[in-house]
Amino acid sequence: MAKTIGILTGGGDCPGLNAVIRGVVKGALLHRNWQVIGIEDGFDGLLDETKIRPLGLDDVRGILPRGGTILGTTNKGTPFSRVIEKDGKKEIVDVSDEVVRTVRKKGIDAIVVVGGEGSLAIALQLMQKGIPVVGVPKTIDNDLMETDVTFGYNTALETATDALDKLHSTAESHHRVMVMEVMGRYAGWIALESGISGGADVILILEIPFTIVKICQAIDQRRRRGSRFSILVAAEGAFPSGGDRVVKSGASAGQPVERLGGIGDYVAARIATCLDMDTRVTVLGHLQRGGSPSTFDRCLGSRFGIKALELIEAEAYGQMACLRGTKIRSVPIEQAIRELKLVNPHGEMVRAAEELGIMVGR
């Protein structure tokens, strides 16, 4: 039966989103004779009809190698409440009926929600309002349960590892400590895996608190053994044992200017003081979200897009596409968002890192 399906991308952007969109559009139009409707700027689009438009083959031409998402995205969260100014006061209004009306009006039979934990939770709320939904997992941080991995993470790793390679070549020529700050506020996967692949000496992640003294000891030991340099990778979310979290790089609207610099600057400054060595900081920031998606992410995103169509075909609403080994499978969204997938401080990856001579926090 011919269907009209909507698609939206939510949360932080991620290389591979365009591969999913393209997969959904091609699979729907070329093989199923379905219509696809693009909803712009995440769930925001559901509240603004000007952000809802049909997607054709021309719209997805040439987007496979492009980062970002042609649909735009936001981090604003639920579309069911809206802030309204009334008599000079701000009021939160429930607009969920309006959302449902818009979806019905546009003739949308089901929505493909491409997003992380937050967006998938909202997808379930849409389900509860009677809007059929299927999920496609997206997280650059690799912190989503129930899928081996998702697209975006591999591209972010490539960017971080490439940066470590570059720091190596310059670090070797001087006597210095190089600190690289990578994404990972809630999970340390990027720091851990890029640290292993980029030959870091120290990896700092939030799952394993660190102490500056021990880091300095490790660097000092390397120095005595003749190593002219040390390289640290620090996830944004890393923090000292018993210490406060350090605020992130960049500034959010409204944040006071008083405190600049993130965990990278913090660690670099401490080490410089403690060891009397020069330190240099690199903050990758949004570089990690950018760039052309890697092969892995393009292929996985494309396969997830096709899987989303198959889930709709089977009316397996509330399910999310996932990767298990080499297979594309599905799981209930509910199950996938129960908790974040953190690095196991005593798992195989951390042990492997330690056997390779890397200090991982502690």
**Catalytic (active-site) positions:** 141
What's the chain's length in residues?
362
- Minimum distance, C-beta of residue 49 to a copy of itself, in the bound complex (Å): 18
129 — phi, psi (to 5°)? -85, 0
What does the alpha-carbon distance between residue 52 and residue 54 come to, in Å, rounded to a whole number? 7
Q: Which is nearer to a copy of itself, 109 or 297 (CB)?
A: 297
At 22, list the tokens.
Answer: 């393209």
The nearer residue to a copy of itself, 111 or 309, going by C-beta atoms, is 309
Tokens of 184: 């990972």
Binding to a copy of itself by CB under 8 A, coded x per residue (else -) over 51-90, reads -----------x-xxxxxx--xxxx---------------
Residues near 272 by beta carbon (within 8 Å), at least 6 away in sequence: 177, 278, 279
Q: Closest distance between a copy of itself and the C-beta of residue 119, in Å?
A: 14
Distance (Å, rounded) from C-alpha 198 to C-alpha 59? 37
Q: Is 3 in the site for a copy of itself (CB under 8 A)?
A: no
Q: Which amino acid is at 248?
A: K
Site for a copy of itself (CB under 8 A): which residue of 6, 15, 45, 240?
Answer: 15
Shortest spacing between CB 13 and a copy of itself, in angstroms: 4
Instruction: Return the closest-CA partner of residue 311 out of 157, 111, 142, 176.
Output: 111
Q: Rank residues 91 and 278 by Cβ distance to a copy of itself and give the closer one.
A: 278
Site for a copy of itself in 121-160 (CB under 8 A): 148-149, 154, 157-160
100 versus 287: smaller Cβ distance to a copy of itself: 287
**Does residue 235 contact residue 202 with C-beta atoms inside 8 Å?**
no
**How far apart are alpha carbons 12 and 313 in whole angstroms?**
28
**What span, in angstroms and rounded, lies between the C-alpha atoms of 51 and 37?**
10
Contacts of a copy of itself in 95-124 (CB under 8 A):
none
Q: Does 281 bind a copy of itself (CB under 8 A)?
A: yes
Supply φ then ψ for residue 215, to 5 degrees. -60, -45
Between CA 14 and CA 290 the distance in angstroms is 7
As measured in angstroms, the least distance from the Cβ of 323 to a copy of itself is 8
Q: Nearest-CA neighbor of 241 among 273, 204, 270, 272? A: 204
Q: Which of residues 174-213 bind a copy of itself (CB under 8 A)?
A: 174, 178-179, 193-194, 196-199
What is the C-alpha separation between 85 and 246, in angstroms, rounded? 35
Q: Which of 3, 5, 6, 23 binds a copy of itself (CB under 8 A)?
A: 23
Q: Is 5 in the site for a copy of itself (CB under 8 A)?
A: no
Binding to a copy of itself in span 288-327, by CB under 8 A? 289-292, 294-296, 298-299, 302-303, 306, 309, 324-327
Smallest distance, Å, CB 52 to a copy of itself?
A: 18
96 CB-near residues (< 8 Å, 6+ apart): 79, 80, 81, 125, 129
Q: Would you count residue 172 as binding a copy of itself (CB under 8 A)?
A: yes
Residue 197 Cβ vs a copy of itself, minimum distance, rounded to whole Å: 4
Residue 94 pairs in a beta bridge with 81
Residue 221 interacts with a copy of itself (CB under 8 A)? Answer: no
| Given 97, 255, 315, 339, the residue binding a copy of itself (CB under 8 A) | 255
